[in-house]
Amino acid sequence: MGGVNIDWDLLRREAVAMTRRAYAPYSGVLVGACALTGDGRLVRGCNVENASYGLTLCAECGLVSDLAATGGGRLVAISVVAGDGEPIAPCGRCRQLLFEHGGPDLLLDDPDGPVRMDALLPGAFGPGDLDTRAGT
């Protein structure tokens, strides 16, 4: 990816560390995420549940917020893990969030090797669709 060195072990370790900051009193499923940006920064997030389940924030939501709060940019690679330290797939909403901030080339940590975002969200609706699909 454009000469950026991706240290998957580091991303996964940082994601595991974020599971310890998760707030999951309802499901008990701790989730942490860590991503590499195009300029080499690491951004992180953890899930934050809410008694009104629909208001729960996934780890990827926190990560995207961290991305914006620390200067923006593009996500290049991400590791999302459960409390057991193993990769966990992003939900549909989070796939859309990650596509928005990483595009089709974003790489996701997977036990069988990195997976491109466009394989997880084929035919994604993205920012470019707003210009081409807007009515006149």
Taking alpha carbons only, the member of 86, 95, 87 closest to residue 58 is 95
Asked whether residue 2 is assigned to any structural domain, the reply reads no
Active-site residue 60, yes or no? yes
71 has a pLDDT exceeding 80? yes
Within a domain: 114: yes
Q: Which of 47-51, 61-65, 120-124 has the lowest mean pLDDT?
A: 120-124
What is the pTM (predicted TM-score) of this model? 0.90
pLDDT the model gives residue 2? 53
Range of the structural domain that residue 38 is part of = 8-133
Distance CA 63, CA 10 (A): 16
The pLDDT > 90 percentage for the chain reads: 84
Catalytic residue among 14, 49, 60, 100: 60
Average pLDDT, the chain: 93
Residue 70 lies in a domain: yes
CATH of the domain at 50: 3.40.140.10
Q: What is the pLDDT of residue 28?
A: 96
| CB-count burial class (<10 Å; 0-12, 13-18, 19+) for 135 | exposed
Asked if residue 111 is part of any domain, the answer here is yes
Give the mean model confidence (pLDDT) for residues 4-27: 96
Identity of the residue numbered 3: G
- 3 within some domain: no
97 or 136, greater pLDDT:
97
Q: Looking at the domain assignment, is residue 39 inside a domain?
A: yes
Confidence of residue 135 (pLDDT cuts 50, 70, 90): low
- The per-residue pLDDT for range 102-134, each reduced to its tens digit, is 999 999 999 999 999 999 998 888 887 787 766
Does the pLDDT value for residue 23 go beyond 80? yes
Q: Is residue 1 part of a domain?
A: no
H/E stretch holding 81: strand 75-82
For residue 88, tell me if it sits in a domain. Answer: yes
Total number of domains constituting the chain: 1
CA distances from 115 to 34, 37, 46, 91, 122 (A): 15, 17, 21, 15, 12
Residue 1 is predicted with a pLDDT of 47
